[in-house]
């Protein structure tokens, strides 16, 4: 077993989803096991949010994809800004990755902004 720590730092140029105001973005993250979903707080009226929130996951072998979904919080239904799938196999060797990730549009032809994440991976000694 290992521990995966994900720090959601910030976003920039996130696509506006509301007609009359700026977006209220938040991030939902999870591994292949969707039962461990965690999310940031929504930041009001911005396309350049600062979250600086850290989440810890118990990581089991075979969970090689980190899912990152960026949403615009709304009263009735949250609008999805975009999704990222991060292959964690590179992280297993490095232990630490600090990177900006492109948030592709629904069909992947353009960008809906970027998100800054710090990933830390540590095997637990039992």
Helix/strand number for the chain, H first, E second:
1, 8
Question: What are the structural domain ranges in the chain?
Answer: 2-123
- The answer to whether the CB of 108 falls within 8 A of the CB of 94 is no
pLDDT in tens, 2-57: 899 999 999 999 988 766 677 899 999 999 877 789 999 999 999 999 999 999 99
| Neighbour-count burial of 117, counting CB atoms closer than 10 A to its CB (0-12 exposed, 13-18 middle, 19+ buried) | buried
Span 2-123: which CATH code? 2.60.40.150
Using alpha carbons, select from 70, 75, 74 the residue that is nearest to residue 47.
Answer: 70
Average pLDDT of the chain, as a whole number: 90
| Global confidence as pTM | 0.92
pLDDT in tens, 51-96: 999 999 988 878 899 999 999 998 888 999 999 999 999 999 899 9
pLDDT at 56: 95
């Amino acid at each position: 077993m290992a521990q995966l720590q994900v720090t959601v730092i910030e976003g920039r140029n996130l696509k506006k989803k509301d007609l009359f105001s700026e977006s209220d973005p938040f991030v939902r993250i999870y591994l292949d096991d969707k039962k461990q979903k965690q999310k940031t707080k929504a930041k009001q009226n911005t396309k350049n949010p600062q979250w600086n929130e850290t989440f810890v996951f118990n990581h089991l072998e075979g969970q090689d994809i980190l899912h990152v979904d960026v949403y615009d919080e709304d009263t009735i239904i949250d609008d999805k800004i975009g999704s990222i799938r991060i292959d964690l196999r590179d992280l297993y060797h490095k232990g630490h990755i600090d990177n900006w990730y492109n948030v592709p549009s629904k069909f992947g032809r353009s960008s809906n902004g970027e998100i800054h994440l710090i990933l830390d991976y540590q095997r637990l000694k039992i």
